[in-house]
Amino acid sequence: MTKRYGKVNIVTGLWVMAFFMIYGFLLIYLRDFAPGKEQWIAGYANGAHFESRLAHVHGNLFSLLNIVFGLVLLNLKIPTQFAKWASWLALGGLLMPLGILSEVYLGLAPVLVIVGGISIFAATVVLAIGVGKAEEGA
């Protein structure tokens, strides 16, 4: 049962990572090749440009964390409830970078950023406890 949760985290992590890689290529284009790149560079260290880079970095980091969580869930015999909660909370952590993008492009409040940050932290704590309770020889 815990293997199903691990696989979901790996697949989702890989897809979200692919999205944020493409987004990173867009940011490179805007900085180096787009018409009006000088204006982009001038505002590079603050505001929407800074937030965009934060989304890119956190999107890839949290995707990688989901892949790692998935691999742990696949390879250790973690009690089902801990595996389930760690998996769902790690997936919820992906709301943080998506929340940053929703702030930048849609002007939404940073609620998703806060929920995602708390979720990935909680996932880490739950997974740590679950690994501590994992069956030996797993």
Residue ranges per domain, the chain?
Answer: 2-132
- Mean pLDDT of successive 10-residue stretches along the chain, which has 138 residues: 88 98 94 87 81 94 98 95 98 98 95 98 98 82
Are 51 and 102 in contact, with CB atoms under 8 Å apart?
Answer: no
Alpha-carbon separation of residue 7 from 15, 73, 111, 136 (angstroms): 12, 8, 28, 22
pTM of the model: 0.91
